[in-house]
Structure 1
Amino acid sequence: MAESVVGFLINQLATLLSQEATLLGELQPDVQFIKDELGSMKAFLRKAEAKEDNDSQLQEWVKQVREVAYDTEDVLDDFAFQFARGQTDGFCGYVGKIYSSIKNLKVRHHISLQIKDIKARVEQISARHQRYQSLNGTQERGSSSSHMANADFHIRDQALLIEEAQLVGINKPKEELTAKILDDHSHLKIVSVVGMGGLGKTTLVKKVYDDSAVKKQFQSHAWITVSQKFQFNVIIKNLIQQLYDEIRQPVPSQVESIDGIRLSEFVKDFLKERRYILVLDDVWSLDFWEAIKYILPDYNVASRVVLTTRIADVASASCLASHDFVHKMKPLSDEQSWTLFCNRTFQSNGCPPSLEEVSRKILKKCEGLPLAIVAIGGVLALKDKERMDEWEMILHGFGSEVDGSGKLDRIKRILLLSYNDLPHHLKGCLLYLSIHPEDFPIQVINILEKWITLGFVEEKEGMATTDIAMRYLKELINRSLIQIKDTWDDGQLKACGLHDFLHEIIISKSKEQSFTTTATGYYTRWPVKVRHLAIHNFTNKPQDFSSLKCLRSVQIFRYEDPLTTSFLSKFLCGGPKFLKVLGLEGAELDNIPKEVFKLFHLKYLNLRGTRVKIIPKSIGQLQNLEVLGLAETNITELPVEILKLRKLRVLVVGRTGDYSNNTIWGFKSPDGIGKLISLENLGSIEADSDEIVREIGKLIRLQKLTITKLRREDGKELLSSLLRLTNLQELDIQSIKEEETLDLQHFFPPRLGFLRVLHLRGHLERVPQWVISLQSLSELRLQYSGLKEDENVIGSLGQLPNLRFLMLHRAYEGETMCFKIGGFRKLRRLQLQQLRRLKWVRVEEGSMPSLQLFTFAGCKLMEGLPLGLQNLTGLEGLGLYDMSNELIHKVQNLDKQSGDYQIISHIPQVCIGHWIDGRWEREFL
């Protein structure tokens, strides 16, 4: 994490130093020195952080580097706060202006002393580093790394020695892998096993490797543990040793002296006429695979390479041939987890009834991770079975168990390997997730925006920062550190989460590095300096906010004791002047305290779900604001001062209706919205004048746009504006009233090559031709369209090549609907809602081959169930909501010999439901 902080700070210093000399005056040489010294330290920090857990002296040095980086950031932000406030062009645009406008020389002198003090500290830290290297250089290069490598191998050796009796849920994946290895395919086949640490990849592969049928199939066998710090020549010599030990011959003497290329050729020659199986356990990089694949001969003798890894890209890159295979490890089921837990904790004697409830709660935290279950089971096995209080202490003190008590060190070390392997820019992103409560679904769009505004995302020319942040998230998923929890209908990521064990580990790591602090209902001793504060719930609100002077972010979660306007005002008064992120979703706020508008550095303000009604004119003071979230509030209008926020990237205002109306209410915008040229996400703006519609065309960076109250006469102007929005990915258009026509039929199609999501809410004379031409469109919702049966609606929409989700809500007035062969090739979800005249639906064989969920809501279907449902062989769910009583009764009482039963018998899940008091009441058949 120190490497991440230093890297971020170096970028800040470089930006500052790029200004004219007058910006810093006599401070410029000192700032340049700090930047240069930190740059030198950064090169060493990555290796140092990976070793610091085993070296107290090194740990102290890393801590000092981190603290001086934090303090330097504070001084820089204070400099901007004191001398850049009230300007109109942002911190980095005041070339030559700031120095001449300084009035408070005392403040400047104070900052000068701070910078000189930091310079002195940096000099001391640098000198200490030099002494450390000279005294311990040999150990650092040799025994220290050797010790860590041995520790890693020791952990993996333990995984190989687990008794068969302890293995649960391994039979089915073992059979599957064995079958893939023993098939009669004559070419070299690669089998990759991928998943997060602790899932049992090594254990599974070892059982397959030791299987007698597998042993008999191959002439040569070798098992290589790669690990993070692999040395290619050492690995090759290890492989040669195993191959010669197997044939009981000494390794040729020349092997010790030849170089890497000749070593590779030696192995290739040895294996070229043999049927071999080679296991590469714990592969961390594509570089290793690219290096070793050239020594693996393929002479049509059905050899096999089995590879285990935590990194999805490594697994997929190694398995590029059509006959290769990737096995994704899955957590144990609840039943399997309970069996393994009881075997380990109670030695197969069964759980005492008095301990079952607390045991299941503890087990839930393991989330099916075998190593975690074995580890926590080992802790509990030593506890008194008659002392429930000891078991309750483990449950409630779970974090402290992971936090270095020694009992769960093994699982912690294994999971920390993945953290230590991260590049510096991803470490801060991962640690910041520790602000979330356990099992909390992390909304992807929100966390990406926070990463950006807190400076964790490194900007790249020609790329949107949100796209870069999404790459970061996907890389953490790729490395098995973040789990996908939910996706949008078009397949995009919606919510993610952390395994409970990993969550506790990054909380521990974050506390250790003074990165995040969590306030709960329990007594919390606050650190001297708090940088990122998560308020889960505290009933005894602290009165001393002195430790919040360096605060950069505040986020509330599940806050039971209402966070009121008066408390927030007191919290902010005279406290966190460097605050960049303020997330107050769901707080009991009727208005925004005036202290918020004094937060010069504030970049992210989210008031979603509050009772705020008015945005005051003082919003214009937040010159650095990038994200303003006002969704589901009572705000209906924004002041003209909003136009001063030229850095604003996200502006979301408005409320959404429920299933019964599917309406959105937007906000009245001041004239001149086109001045906010940095906007990437705008919603939901009312098109109450042709001027507003015209101004939207100036927002050329827009990726997401929601526009409401569109009048028929503004349709042509809107299409003209859309012609300029070539980056648009999501578009939602709603007419001024349900029966108003959306006049979008004009002959020139918008250039919307990247458009993935399209919602059209209003009457359509027909589906616009430009909609049918959207090659990237994956989600389409049509509401109140009133489309006629003779317009071939379904046939034309079925030609969209990448459509994955389609919803028709009061959009079609025909009585029949037929899905023709060859249509909707990629459609996965189809929702037909409130099509009141629809009586008959038919699905031809070969239509919608990818459909997984088919939902009807409020449709008559007088002719009964859709014909041809049996043709949808991949269908996983059928939903029937607010349908006729006759149809529901018929479905509930189907005779297994009837034709209708045969139509739906292949569908795993059939659900009926009714909309009652604003929510769905469901029943699964």
Structure 2
Amino acid sequence: MAEAALSFVLQQLYLLGSEEISLLKGLGNDFPNIQHELESIYAFLKDADRKAGYEGDTNYRIKTWVKQVREVSFCIEDVIDKYIMYVARYNRIDSLPKIAQQTKTLLSRRRIASEIRNIKSSVQEIKERSTRYDFESSSNSSREAEADPRMDAHFMEETGVVGFESPRDELIDFLTQGTQQLSAISVVGMGGLGKTTLAKQVFDNPHVQEHFKCTCFLTVSQSYTVKELLVNMVKKFCEDYNDPLPQGLHEKDDNSLVTQVRKFLESNKYMYLLLFDDVWKQDFSDEIKHALPDNNNGSRIVITTRTMHVAECFNKSFLGRVHELQHLPLKKALELFCKKAFKFEPSHQCPPELKEMSEEIVQKCGGLPLAIVAIGGLLTTKAKEMIEWRKVCEDLTMEIERTPYLNALTRILSLSYDDLPPNLKSCMLYFGMYPEHYSIKYTRLTRQWIAEGFIQNEGKRPVEEVAERSLRDLAHRSLVKVSKVGRNGKVKSCQVHDLLRKVIIRRMKELNFCHVMHEDDELETVGITRRFSVANFSDIVLSRTRLFGVRAIFIFSKSELPAYFVPKLSTKFKLLKVLDFQGTLLNHVPDNLGKLFLLRYLNLSHTQVEVLPKSIGKLLNLETLDLRQTKVRELPREITQLLKLRLLSVYYRKIEGKYSVLESTTGAKMHKGIRCLKSLQKLYFLEAYHGGLDLVEELKMLKQLRKLGIRCVRREYATALSAAIGGMNHLESLNVSAVAEDEIIDLNFKSDPPQLQVLKLNARVTKLPDWIPKLAYLVKLRLGLSNLKEDPLDSLKVLPNLMLLSIWDNAYEGESLHFKKDGFPKLKELDLTRLSRLSSMSIDKGALLGLEHLSFRDNPQMKVLPCGLDHLKNLQFLGFVDMPTELEESIDPAKDGRHYGVIKHITSVSIRYNVHGPRFHPNHS
């Protein structure tokens, strides 16, 4: 992590040098000199950083040196931010005369210059120390002496393997059946999931060994060389066929070795099976593909990897497929646990008194076989008593840290983290700041990364896209689990495995990355920390920790916040960049908030805050202002000064009371001047009637918008709003609501929004807008209050990518809807709600072929089941809410419903009433 810290600092120095080159001249050459020294240190820091974090390494000098590099990186980062806060900000104020600028910043310049000289001296000493010590060889012996914790998988007896029966059989079928063309299969999954165990079990299977007369199992790992791999292949072939080793084998170059391997495999008449275990590099397939000929005889290749990108690259070089190995389900996990924990008991039976405790321990392992085996093995050494087992269960983190037998578990989980580039290491550590089992919203997480500076622009690619790619990279490396994906394929929420999170928390502690004040994850006071994650406030921790350099504060506490904490934020945490109060009882924002000049991310969502102070206009670096589900109804004029603002979300959705499409959600009033916020990418919800036509016309200046939500739109605004939206070429999501149900809003664009993926239109229209069926990228469409006289389905059915369609609140006034053959090719979800005149619906055979979810709500005239429902072979859910009794009785088997047979093929059918609750759930599974 010193590597990550230093990489980040170098990046900031590059940015500062390019943006403030004229201002840096007044500070001499110290900044550039420090930069050059750090670059030379960075050249070999990665290896030393890895060794310092390695559990088996006992070299104190390396750890001390890496710690010093990290701390000097912190100091440089602080100086850079102080410079921006105390010097650069004033030099950018054009209204100040030059002499006034220099006078205003003179004292700060002197103080910063002094700090830079001290840092320069420290950096030079650190560099000299690195050359004085032979770090490269000092820890090799201890590193090599440690046994590879992954070796156990190579010698696992088949009787000890549980939960791999289905993937084992699938892999064996792939290897021994099918095409004669050379094919590859990639087994992908996180560390500890059992990839090597599964692959070895398949490789050693008698049927497989009999099928392939030429087989070779090779462990690749992170430190392989192509030459070493090819030499080992040649040795294995010669050994199996009693052939002498070629002369000068070790002196051959890579090309000669490729030729040697290829020649052997081509001349051999047998099918060959090659298993490459633990592949890390994406270009591995390119490095070895020329050595592996396609003899068109059914030869096969198997690889195991933690990284999906490796598998994808393999599929470009070979005909292949990917098998994503899943975590064990609870039943199989318990079976494996009992085999290990009670292996000396008859039939591996768990005593009744330990059954509940065993289930709790297995739950904490999260279906990870390595963890189950390791902890089960530990418990064989403990007395089979509830008190002993309870100690292990409650203090699992400490047991993992102090027990050598379990230490291998953390080392394996750490390998994927250690393989990350510096910026992704910082991104990965951020997961440890969230509580256990926390499902993290994608936008919340990635905008925090951006605010911290972990994510940077790449050419013309927006930083948000770079952040999304970084998150997907972590998922492809099997480090992050995507828990929810939107209809447009974008990640909505994610989390990490609980045991991996424990590894992350330990790294955070070692690296001063974050101090955690949670009940289960409390870390002792460390003196220096860059971030706070607080669920339980500790006055002792706050009093003993150096607060000035803190960059981020997360509050997860559900109790009242200490009276002293919020008012002192601006004085105690001057370098703060991320401040997150989401879901807390915060009810007041202090007037001095504007002193947090460096603040880039402010999350007040789901709090009791009602008013923002005028000083918020001084947060000139603010990029994200999250006010969702707050009581803020009007934004101060000063908000228009935030020229770097990229996301402004402010609304409140009423959960209580009767739903109203226009009244259940309220946005915020904004004053004129919104045209200045040209960096905005997301703005929702804006109350249009407050600023009137002038405010709507200002929207045309916000050409970077990707998401726009606007409420209380009047008829006379339609032309101006159409002109503004027509110029938003990046717009992906649009939500427009009228000021009243009878207000007609006809939007007509000269050019349709080319990227629009989500459209919600809650307004009466003269007719279905012609531009909607032309939206080639539209994924989600919701129409409300439209009062359409004609069936809109004929126009909408051509939308090529539409996956979710909602027709709500008398958007259609007709009595019937007809879904015709070949219509809506990708529709997955259909929702028909509060259509007062709808009485029937018919579905042609060949229509809605991909529909999975169909729901009806409060359609009082619809008393019969849709005709053609039996055509929907992929339908998984059918729901009725507040529908006529006649419809319910027609499908209720308890009442001899005549149409029950029509819905028997549907996995889940639900009928319920909002007042009385669930009424009937046939076919529930």
Category of TM-score, reference length = shorter chain: over 0.9
CA deviation after TM superposition for structure 1 residue 163, in Å: 2.0
CA deviation after TM superposition for structure 1 residue 97, in Å: 5.2
Flag the 1:436–1:243 CA change in 2: closer, same or farther, 3 A.
same
Equivalent position amino acid for 1:345 in 2? A
Matched, 1:339 2:343: no
Q: Which moved more, 1:836-845 or 1:480-489?
A: 836-845
1:60 to 61, 64, 89: 64
Other-structure match for 2:534: 535
Matches within 5 A, 1:552-631: 552-557=551-556, 559-563=557-561, 566-572=563-569, 574-631=571-628
Other-structure match for 2:122: 121
CA deviation after TM superposition for structure 1 residue 297, in Å: 0.8
CA deviation after TM superposition for structure 1 residue 215, in Å: 1.3
Q: Which moved more, 1:693-702 or 1:880-889?
A: 880-889
Flag the 1:851–1:98 CA change in 2: closer, same or farther, 3 A.
farther
Q: What's the CA shift string for 1:766-812, capped at 9, x where partnerless? A: 22111111111111111222222xx3411221211111111111222
Other-structure match for 2:774: 773
Equivalent position amino acid for 1:654 in 2? Y
Q: Which moved more, 1:624-633 or 1:588-597?
A: 588-597
CA deviation after TM superposition for structure 1 residue 396, in Å: 2.5
Other-structure match for 1:355: 354
**Structure 2 SS opposite 1:547:** coil
Matched, 1:696 2:690: no
Flag the 1:796–1:11 CA change in 2: closer, same or farther, 3 A.
same
What root-mean-square deviation, in Å, do the aligned CA atoms of Structure 1 and Structure 2 show? 2.5
1:727 to 726, 730, 738: 730
Other-structure match for 2:194: 200
Other-structure match for 1:488: 486
Other-structure match for 1:787: 788
Q: Give the Cα–Cα distance (whole angstroms) in 1 for the partners of residues 770 and 634 of structure 2.
A: 35
1:315 to 296, 311, 317: 311
Q: What's the CA shift string for 1:605-633, capped at 9, x where partnerless? A: 11112222222222111111111111111
Are the counterparts in 2 of residues 701 and 725 from structure 1 also a CA contact under 8 Å? Answer: yes
Matches within 5 A, 1:143-162: 151=147, 154-162=148-156
Other-structure match for 2:42: 42
Other-structure match for 2:177: 183
**Structure 1 SS opposite 2:855:** strand
Equivalent position amino acid for 1:480 in 2? S
Matched, 1:805 2:804: yes
Flag the 1:365–1:615 CA change in 2: closer, same or farther, 3 A.
same
Q: Give the Cα–Cα distance (whole angstroms) in 2 for the partners of residues 661 and 391 of structure 1.
A: 54
Ranges in structure 2 where 5+ consecutive residues have no aligned partner? none
Q: Give the Cα–Cα distance (whole angstroms) in 1 for the partners of residues 679 and 506 of structure 2.
A: 38
**Structure 1 SS opposite 2:891:** helix
Q: Give the Cα–Cα distance (whole angstroms) in 2 for the partners of residues 837 and 753 of structure 1.
A: 34
CA deviation after TM superposition for structure 1 residue 146, in Å: 5.1
Equivalent position amino acid for 2:546 in 1? S
Q: Give the Cα–Cα distance (whole angstroms) in 2 for the partners of residues 355 and 94 of structure 1.
A: 75
CA deviation after TM superposition for structure 1 residue 583, in Å: 0.6
Flag the 1:166–1:356 CA change in 2: closer, same or farther, 3 A.
same
Q: What's the CA shift string for 1:349-374, capped at 9, x where partnerless? A: 43333333332222112111111111
Matches within 5 A, 1:45-444: 45-52=45-52, 53=54, 54=57, 55-84=59-88, 100-103=101-104, 105-132=106-133, 135-138=134-137, 151=147, 154-272=148-266, 273-320=269-316, 324-347=320-343, 348-386=347-385, 388-444=386-442
Other-structure match for 1:834: 834
Q: Which moved more, 1:250-259 or 1:422-431?
A: 250-259
Q: Give the Cα–Cα distance (whole angstroms) in 2 for the partners of residues 99 and 482 of structure 1.
A: 51
Equivalent position amino acid for 1:902 in 2? G
**Structure 1 SS opposite 2:571:** coil
1:715 to 710, 715, 718: 718
Flag the 1:22–1:157 CA change in 2: closer, same or farther, 3 A.
closer
Q: Give the Cα–Cα distance (whole angstroms) in 1 for the partners of residues 399 and 91 of structure 2.
A: 51
CA deviation after TM superposition for structure 1 residue 332, in Å: 0.8
Are the counterparts in 2 of residues 23 and 96 from structure 1 also a CA contact under 8 Å? Answer: no
Q: Give the Cα–Cα distance (whole angstroms) in 2 for the partners of residues 588 and 136 of structure 1.
A: 51
Are the counterparts in 2 of residues 521 and 538 from structure 1 also a CA contact under 8 Å? Answer: no
CA deviation after TM superposition for structure 1 residue 65, in Å: 0.8
Other-structure match for 1:873: 873
Q: What's the CA shift string for 1:436-484, capped at 9, x where partnerless? A: 0110010100011100011110222312111111111010011010001
Matches within 5 A, 1:810-889: 810=809, 811-860=811-860, 862-889=862-889
Are the counterparts in 2 of residues 656 and 664 from structure 1 also a CA contact under 8 Å? Answer: yes
**Structure 2 SS opposite 1:866:** coil
Equivalent position amino acid for 1:737 in 2? A
Q: Give the Cα–Cα distance (whole angstroms) in 1 for the partners of residues 77 and 593 of structure 2.
A: 21
Kindly report structure 1 stretches of 4+ aligned residues shifted beyond 6 Å.
93-96, 919-922
Flag the 1:175–1:513 CA change in 2: closer, same or farther, 3 A.
same
**Structure 1 SS opposite 2:630:** coil
1:473 to 467, 471, 476: 471
**Structure 1 SS opposite 2:472:** helix
Flag the 1:921–1:320 CA change in 2: closer, same or farther, 3 A.
farther
CA deviation after TM superposition for structure 1 residue 412, in Å: 0.9
Equivalent position amino acid for 1:237 in 2? V
CA deviation after TM superposition for structure 1 residue 430, in Å: 0.3
Equivalent position amino acid for 1:112 in 2? A
**Structure 2 SS opposite 1:237:** helix
Flag the 1:738–1:104 CA change in 2: closer, same or farther, 3 A.
same
Flag the 1:608–1:700 CA change in 2: closer, same or farther, 3 A.
same
Identity value in percent? 36
Flag the 1:94–1:556 CA change in 2: closer, same or farther, 3 A.
farther
CA deviation after TM superposition for structure 1 residue 503, in Å: 0.6
**Structure 1 SS opposite 2:565:** helix
Equivalent position amino acid for 2:290 in 1? Y
CA deviation after TM superposition for structure 1 residue 257, in Å: 2.9
2:497 to 473, 496, 499: 499
Q: Give the Cα–Cα distance (whole angstroms) in 2 for the partners of residues 864 and 379 of structure 1.
A: 62
Are the counterparts in 2 of residues 738 and 763 from structure 1 also a CA contact under 8 Å? Answer: yes
Q: TM-score, normalised by structure 2?
A: 0.93
Flag the 1:98–1:139 CA change in 2: closer, same or farther, 3 A.
farther
CA deviation after TM superposition for structure 1 residue 510, in Å: 1.0
CA deviation after TM superposition for structure 1 residue 505, in Å: 0.5
Q: TM-score, normalised by structure 1?
A: 0.93
Are the counterparts in 2 of residues 775 and 802 from structure 1 also a CA contact under 8 Å? Answer: yes
Matches within 5 A, 1:613-762: 613-658=610-655, 660-662=659-661, 663-688=664-689, 689-744=692-747, 746=748, 748-762=749-763
CA deviation after TM superposition for structure 1 residue 536, in Å: 1.7
Q: Give the Cα–Cα distance (whole angstroms) in 2 for the partners of residues 97 and 220 of structure 1.
A: 80
CA deviation after TM superposition for structure 1 residue 138, in Å: 4.8
Flag the 1:833–1:644 CA change in 2: closer, same or farther, 3 A.
same
Flag the 1:838–1:798 CA change in 2: closer, same or farther, 3 A.
same
1:459 to 434, 437, 457: 457
Other-structure match for 1:902: 901
Are the counterparts in 1 of residues 893 and 900 from structure 2 also a CA contact under 8 Å? Answer: no
CA deviation after TM superposition for structure 1 residue 22, in Å: 6.0
**Structure 1 SS opposite 2:543:** coil
Flag the 1:519–1:99 CA change in 2: closer, same or farther, 3 A.
farther
CA deviation after TM superposition for structure 1 residue 592, in Å: 0.7
Q: Give the Cα–Cα distance (whole angstroms) in 1 for the partners of residues 523 and 231 of structure 2.
A: 54
Q: Give the Cα–Cα distance (whole angstroms) in 1 for the partners of residues 2 and 744 of structure 2.
A: 58
Q: Give the Cα–Cα distance (whole angstroms) in 2 for the partners of residues 914 and 8 of structure 1.
A: 56
Flag the 1:922–1:81 CA change in 2: closer, same or farther, 3 A.
farther
Are the counterparts in 1 of residues 364 and 498 from structure 2 also a CA contact under 8 Å? Answer: yes
Flag the 1:104–1:712 CA change in 2: closer, same or farther, 3 A.
closer
CA deviation after TM superposition for structure 1 residue 920, in Å: 8.4
Equivalent position amino acid for 1:519 in 2? M
CA deviation after TM superposition for structure 1 residue 395, in Å: 2.5
Flag the 1:705–1:136 CA change in 2: closer, same or farther, 3 A.
closer
